[in-house]
Amino acid sequence: MRMLHTMLRVGDLERSIAFYTELLGMQLLRRKDYPGGRFTLAFVGYGSEPENTVLELTHNWDTDAYDLGDGYGHIALGVEDIRGTCAGIADKGGRVVREPGPMKHGSTVIAFVEDPDGYKVELIELSSRADT
């Protein structure tokens, strides 16, 4: 496994992209609108995604601002066999809170597990990774 990205919800996507790219020197790696879900994903980082962990900025079109703390989303881990990984986590007493399957507004196969404090960890099946 390896860490793929950390997700933050942002109220003003353009302002956030400018901050991370212009002030912190990251590059905008990709961006995609999901009209059916009324959100946009933008990925920024210091290098290409196959070799680096990046930051996912999620802008929900109908939300202008978040309370500090509510903006944190999840970390993501790439896995080869998502179903086997979830089964192994469950067998060891872990909590799978979203079973493996395609993301709601895309085709990438994802699942979510919770850590002991309730923080979400997204698992992404690497062979299906196209939308997230």
Mind listing the pLDDT tens digit for each residue in 55-64? 999 999 999 9
pLDDT of residue 55: 94
- Going along the chain from its start, the domains and CATH numbers come out as 2-128 (3.10.180.10)
Is there a contact between 100 and 112 (Cβ–Cβ < 8 Å)? Answer: no
State the pLDDT at residue 68: 78
Task: Please report the DSSP string for 110-122 in residue order.
Answer: EEEEE-TTS-EEE
Say which of 49, 51, 122, 125 is annotated catalytic: 122
| 122 is a catalytic site residue | yes
Which residues of the chain fall below pLDDT 70?
Answer: 130-132
pLDDT of res. 128: 85
